[in-house]
Amino acid sequence: MLAIIGGSGLAQLSNLEVSRRQVVRTPYGEPSGALTFGKIAGHAVVFLARHGYGHTIPPHEVNYRANVWALHAQGVQNVLAIAAVGGIRHDLAPGALVVPDQIIDYTHDRAGTFFTLTDRGVHHIDFTLPYCQTLRAACLKAAQQAGEKALDGGVYAATQGPRLESAAEINRLERDGADMVGMTGMPEAALAREIGLCYATIAVVVNYAAGRGSSRQGIDMHALAAVSQQAMGRVRLILEPLVMSDGG
Ligand code: HPA
């Protein structure tokens, strides 16, 4: 079964035929909300709003471990994360959709592993390719089938938030090789790998990163919200062919 973790701008899926909601308790505390089970185009999916259904949980306070654990406990194998990002690379303008292939983690003070001493002992996962290649390919194919352009590959920089970055910080991220910046990609991706889930992201560029393009003097939050609403509608279109493929 495919799980969809909805990010900012995607707290619910209008094309999801809801069958039930389930509160899942985990050894790590409460997930962001009840899991919503249902069907898209006749295929079973489970949906979770990362920031809560009322968008009340900021990126640094999301209980990533509880969310990932809850999905795994429900028999999910594939997890598609939807993430709003700022575009750093020049072709990542607001409205662009990207399926990133790499991550740099700048977050701190987040519970980022299931392998603590009290849990499962010392363990190191391979994270050379942080995203599941099979699900990435399925997302790209589904986008093509939906007639939506999605760029193949890019480096996602995960920042701590909740504030946006300074222009100098974005320059630094670019020097590091980052193409886009968001606040929720980590530790979510690493936790999914630790627990054996196939995890990929569709990143939705909702603004130029600080100091770039139209954000040279600041980020226009109203424009960001409008772009997000429009682009998330396009993401919903991609989900239908995705759940009908093996990716679902
Ligand atoms: N920076 C960090 N996170 C974001 C941004 C950004 O510019 N836009 C959307 N999420």
pLDDT of residue 112: 94
Residues of the chain short of pLDDT 70, as ranges, are: 117-121, 246-248
- How many residues can be counted in the chain? 248
**pLDDT tens digits, residue range 124-149?**
999 999 999 999 999 999 999 999 99
Any ligand 1 atom below 6 A from CB of 164: yes
Give the residue, out of 206, 215, 232, with the most ligand 1 atoms within 8 A of its beta carbon, to mutate for a pocket test.
206
pLDDT of residue 248: 54
Rounded distance between C-alpha atoms, residue 46 and residue 111, angstroms: 24
pTM across the whole model = 0.95
Give the residue, out of 50, 62, 163, 164, with the most ligand 1 atoms within 8 A of its beta carbon, to mutate for a pocket test.
164
- Residue 182, C-beta contacts closer than 8 angstroms, at least 6 positions apart: 7, 83, 84, 85, 86, 156, 157, 158, 159, 203
Q: What is the CATH number of the domain that holds 136?
A: 3.40.50.1580
Any ligand 1 atom below 6 A from CB of 231: no
**pLDDT tens digits, residue range 109-120?**
999 999 886 656
Contact of 202 with 180, CB cutoff 8 Å = no
Contact of 36 with 80, CB cutoff 8 Å = no
Ordered alpha helix ranges (H), the chain: 64-73, 133-146, 167-176, 188-195, 221-244
Q: Cα of 67 to ligand 1 centre, how many Å?
A: 21
pLDDT of residue 9: 73
pLDDT of residue 171: 98
Rounded distance between C-alpha atoms, residue 192 and residue 53, angstroms: 21
How many structural domains does the chain have?
1
Rounded distance between C-alpha atoms, residue 142 and residue 175, angstroms: 32
- DSSP 3-state assignment of 100? coil
Q: Cα of 22 to ligand 1 centre, how many Å?
A: 30
* Residue-number span of the structural domain to which 184 is assigned: 2-116+123-244
Q: Cα of 181 to ligand 1 centre, how many Å?
A: 5
